[in-house]
Chain A
Amino acid sequence: MSEQPILRVQSVSKRFGGVHALENVSVDLFPGEVLALAGDNGAGKSTLIKVISGVHRPDEGKISYDGAEVTFENPQKAREQGIETIYQDLALADNLDVGANVFLGREPMKRVLGLPVLDRKKMRTEAAEALRVLDIRINRFDLPLRSMSGGQRQAVAIGRAIHWNAKVLIMDEPTAALGVPEQRKVIALIKSLKQSGVGVIFISHNLVDIFAVSDRIVVLRRGQKVGEAATQATNSDEIVRWMVGG
């Protein structure tokens, strides 16, 4: 594992009214590391990733990214810096093809007879390249995502994040909506992502997935960090004990 953490969350607290959604939580993420975030419903996992990705601002504590303290006004700003979040719904336009989705909102243009037109070829070839880097093969780039499988769509969402130079990728339950074979493929995808030096925060309820893919596990309960361990040094019994507080 490399020297400097790409992301440091230090003593962050977040309150909604009287509810302590996060209390004094500290987490580090290193480049090329997969950090699993575990915890029961309402443990604060979502709040934590929303604080990191710029949806919420912390009430106390600070976040450093790439060695410097940061405050993101909104998710757009976080994304521009290289912190991408892939939510469960993937945020894809299912009626458009792969290239259009990778370049959604940032479409390249070219000039034909002096008129600006969409550069479809560039979108297609660069999208193909982004997916190839991730070791994903999709042979029809002209079809809408609607006609693709859940795993492929997940791959497109990840490919898009990587193409725009994500250094930190937050994945919220990436395997939850998938069948077992596709879950395995997404796990393989996360492993290859790790190889390219991206730091991944992986939220899951599924302990099998967590143990299959993560390097380190952080467990939250009622807004507090109640446990942290290297994946190799722990087991699911311990994690469950932390989760339920037994």
Chain B
Amino acid sequence: MAKVLMKGNEAVAEAAIRSGCRHYFGYPITPQTEIAEYMAKRMPKVGGLCLQAESEISAINMVMGAASAGVRAMTSSSSPGISLKCEGISYIAGCDLPCLILNVQRGGPGLGGIQPAQSDYWQATKAMGHGDLHLIVLAPSSVQEMASLANKAFDLADKYRMPAMLLADGALGQMMEPVDLDGIKAPEAVCKPWATCGHDGKRKKNITNSLYINPDDLEKTVIERFARYETVKANEIMYEEYLTEDADIVVVAYGITARICRSAVAMARAQGVKVGLFRPITLWPYPYEALGRLADTASRFIVSELNMGQMIDDVKIAINCRRPVDFCGRTGGVLLTPEEILNAILGGKK
């Protein structure tokens, strides 16, 4: 199939279907409602289910039920709606269930606004629900990646039996770009011997559960889960570098902001400034080591985000505080311009 022109929201939805997802549970909220609309049109044609739940909380618990039965399931929302899903996500993590959760971020806190933001970074990477848990968090920066990383997220979720989140934003959700969906495919049958899909009296019953009466049992499951997290960290870190090899200044940005920073880096390079861009694609696990290596040669780092600087601490950890870390960001639904980032690159400390 040739390229088609898609919104980011549509690309995620189509990629999910092509990845074998036949169960979508959602509740409308701007700027991600196109996903539900697309699913409502497409799912019946592929024998799938698109269900508008009565609330975000219901939707995530429906995902838990579907994932328990071993099928690929997803939900999507935008920032305030994701907050509502946190409890269910914690239960899903506690049950060791794979699923895809998409956050098309908008400005916050509170009801905030409908314009693009990245202010749920802390929530996604550090505090998505109660308890000792992690999600795999992927940050696409183009409509093509909205599709390819949705596919990747399903694979990783199944592989490690844990929820995966696609952390996008309103701009990526709404903008239109050419997309090639040819490579987006469902895997051959995924073996899920733990699934609660009926045993016909032929095996012991499966139970998906996050409640443990005995504290020692609970501790054991958490420790086992954290051993699995270490495997994820060892195998699944993704990032992209642009002109970092000889860079004296390194801009660190993810998602839509990385696109804007790339333009700014090119502008600065045209003026002879040795600057590069480091783009984490997995926000959890975070590419600490790869970024840390850049501090051997670079003298200054600039974090750029659509929030008040939520990634700064991760960059400081990555480079072990060896270099100064500046910040260039906007928040509340205001987009950065390439010129603002260029000024931060040229201007030294703000």
A binds B: no
A→B interface (CB under 8 Å) = none
